[in-house]
């Protein structure tokens, strides 16, 4: 069915869905590595791109294709490229867009491995990167070089919750002919649509909100137009970062409740953020729904809601933060986010530990920063859990 003009909630249920010859209500799992051709000419036509028949699951598969179409539709994009993980999406973009002698300007607070893979592996192959505080667009302008081939943003950023003015950066970049990529993991297309704000490439760790149930890892890239699509898809297929059909099926299932899960988690997060901000043992809280967030107005302008990720620091820094993390019972002390359960973790020693301390500090990832991913439990229970743990300090 044509879904382009449907509302977001209707798209969540119907985009990408097809019904097989038995009239199945959900997209079946095509658990096959390869597809037989009708005859030799058909096989040749599939390889030549003259027939859109499936060839081999690393290159494409009906279940995976349904998910690619669904997420692309939700992001108002051209086409999706599903990947084995969020890092598969990040590296497919790097491989597709950069090469020896190419330079990338990026926000300095991003998911740790998204930065470290650039500064280690891609550096070995001759690609350079400059990491700046992109919450001030001037810093992005100042870092652009003649060989800059990509501007890479993550907003809200993991784990600082810093917010970049997407439209301002797109304007600067496009004036110089440079494409912009946004990692939209923290918002999902429900809360933010970077492609509508002029961005060229959007990516997700679908391990998080899009799948939403903490039971698989998965990623997705969506491009705004045909430009850049083939390069990134080619990279994904050749490095073998493809998704598995069973994984695609699970994400298709989780995706349907994206909006109602986010609404609930976000309402909970607003209450938790208010609770933390009023607590005498808390030094600071960063949540885009709080007026105290430095980009509160910008968040209201470019996002449809502040989401459910909160960063904060307990008075007494890391030592006090550890007491909190060691004493929660309902919240799991675990990395990841965007699932139905509340998680707490310590970026400096966990998700961002591979980034040198000096670079972490420049990016405002302090040693005392604690990150909460709020789930959809009863908010009274989440707050009671944090409250009893804070009382131990
Ligand atoms: N982008 C962002 C913003 C992320 O938060 C993550 C994972 C990735 C990309 C990579 O995705 P993955 O390969 O894990 O699917 N973030 C994690 C985090 O904050 N804790 O554990 C994983």
pLDDT by residue (tens digit) across 12-22? Answer: 999 999 999 99
User: Burial of 78 by CB count in 10 Å (0-12 exposed, 13-18 middle, 19+ buried)?
Assistant: middle
Taking the C-alpha atoms of residue 170 and residue 180, their distance in angstroms, rounded to an integer, is 6
Q: Which of 207, 251, 353 for mutating ligand 1's site (highest number of atoms within 8 Å of CB)? A: 207
Stated as kind and residue range, the H or E segment containing 115 is helix 112-117
Nearest in space to 303 (alpha carbons), one of 151, 153, 156, 160: 156
Residue 1 pLDDT level (bands cut at 50, 70, 90): confident
Alpha helices, DSSP H only, in 221-369?
229-239, 245-255, 258-278, 296-302, 317-327, 357-362
pLDDT at 199: 98
pLDDT at 11: 98
Taking the C-alpha atoms of residue 70 and residue 90, their distance in angstroms, rounded to an integer, is 20
Is domain 8-255 annotated with CATH 3.40.640.10? yes
Residue 145 pLDDT level (bands cut at 50, 70, 90): very high
- 8 A C-beta contact, residue 228 and residue 80: no
Nearest in space to 62 (alpha carbons), one of 208, 252, 225: 252
Distances from the Cα of 369 to the Cαs of 50, 291, 330, in angstroms?
53, 19, 20
pLDDT at 178: 98
Atom number of ligand 1 nearest to Cα 208: 15
Calculate helix-pair angle for 379-391, 317-327, nearest 10 degrees: 130
135 pocket-lining for ligand 1 (C-beta < 6 Å): no
Domain boundaries defined on the chain: 8-255, 259-390
Structure-token pair, residue 197: 């704000």
211 pocket-lining for ligand 1 (C-beta < 6 Å): no
* Nearest residue (CA) to ligand 1, atom 16: 336
For the chain, helix (H) and strand (E) counts, in that order, are 16, 12
pLDDT at 187: 98
Output DSSP code: residue 338: S
Structure-token pair, residue 346: 């310590």
What separation in Å is there between the alpha carbon of 322 and the centre of ligand 1? 22
What separation in Å is there between the alpha carbon of 196 and the centre of ligand 1? 23
Question: In this predicted model, what pLDDT tens digit does every residue of 249-292 receive, in sequence order?
Answer: 999 999 999 999 999 999 999 999 999 999 999 999 999 999 99
Q: Mean pLDDT, to the nearest integer, of 229-245?
A: 98
pLDDT at 310 over 90: yes
Taking the C-alpha atoms of residue 195 and residue 58, their distance in angstroms, rounded to an integer, is 26
What separation in Å is there between the alpha carbon of 86 and the centre of ligand 1? 6
pLDDT at 238: 97
183 pocket-lining for ligand 1 (C-beta < 6 Å): yes
pLDDT at 217: 98
Taking the C-alpha atoms of residue 221 and residue 237, their distance in angstroms, rounded to an integer, is 13
Q: Mean pLDDT, to the nearest integer, of 377-390?
A: 98
184 pocket-lining for ligand 1 (C-beta < 6 Å): no
Taking the C-alpha atoms of residue 108 and residue 346, their distance in angstroms, rounded to an integer, is 18
* Nearest residue (CA) to ligand 1, atom 20: 336
CATH number of 259-390: 3.90.1150.10
Q: Mean pLDDT, to the nearest integer, of 354-363?
A: 94
Q: Mean pLDDT, to the nearest integer, of 293-317?
A: 97
pLDDT at 93 over 90: yes
């Amino acid at each position: 069915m044509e879904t382009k003009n449907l509302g977001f909630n209707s798209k969540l249920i119907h985009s990408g869905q097809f019904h097989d010859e038995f009239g199945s209500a959900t997209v079946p799992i095509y658990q096959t590595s390869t597809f037989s051709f009708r005859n030799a000419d058909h096989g040749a036509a599939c390889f030549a791109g003259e027939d859109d028949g499936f060839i081999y699951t690393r290159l494409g598969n009906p279940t995976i294709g349904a998910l690619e179409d669904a997420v692309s539709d939700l992001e108002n994009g051209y086409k999706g490229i599903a990947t084995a993980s969020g890092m598969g999406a990040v590296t497919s973009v790097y491989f597709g867009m950069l090469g020896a002698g190419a330079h990338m300007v990026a926000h300095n607070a991003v998911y740790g491995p998204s930065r470290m893979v650039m500064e280690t592996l891609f550096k070995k192959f001759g690609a350079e990167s400059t990491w700046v505080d992109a919450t001030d667009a001037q810093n992005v302008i100042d870092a652009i070089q003649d060989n800059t081939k990509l501007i890479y943003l993550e907003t809200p950023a993991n784990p600082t919750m810093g917010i970049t003015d997407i439209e301002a950066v797109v304007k600067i970049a496009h004036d110089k002919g440079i494409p912009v990529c946004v990692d939209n993991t923290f918002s999902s297309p429900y809360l933010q649509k970077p492609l509508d704000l002029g961005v060229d490439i959007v990516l997700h760790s679908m391990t998080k909100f899009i799948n939403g149930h903490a039971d698989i890892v998965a990623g997705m890239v969506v491009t705004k137009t045909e430009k850049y699509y083939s390069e990134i898809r080619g990279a994904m297929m050749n490095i073998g970062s493809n998704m598995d059909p069973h994984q695609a099926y699970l994400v298709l299932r989780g995706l349907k409740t994206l909006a109602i899960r986010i609404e609930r988690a976000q309402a909970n997060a607003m209450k938790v953020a208010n609770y933390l901000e009023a607590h005498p043992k808390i030094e600071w809280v960063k949540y885009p729904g709080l007026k105290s967030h430095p980009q509160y107005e910008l968040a209201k302008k470019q996002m449809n809601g502040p989401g459910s990720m909160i960063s904060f620091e307990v008075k007494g820094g890391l030592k006090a933060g550890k007491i909190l993390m060691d004493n929660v019972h309902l919240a799991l002390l675990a990395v990841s986010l965007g699932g139905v359960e509340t998680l707490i973790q310590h970026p400096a020693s966990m998700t961002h530990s591979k980034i040198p301390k000096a670079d972490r500090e420049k990016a405002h990832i302090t040693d005392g920063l604690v990150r909460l991913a709020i789930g959809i439990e009863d908010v009274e229970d989440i707050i009671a859990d944090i409250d009893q743990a804070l009382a131990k300090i």
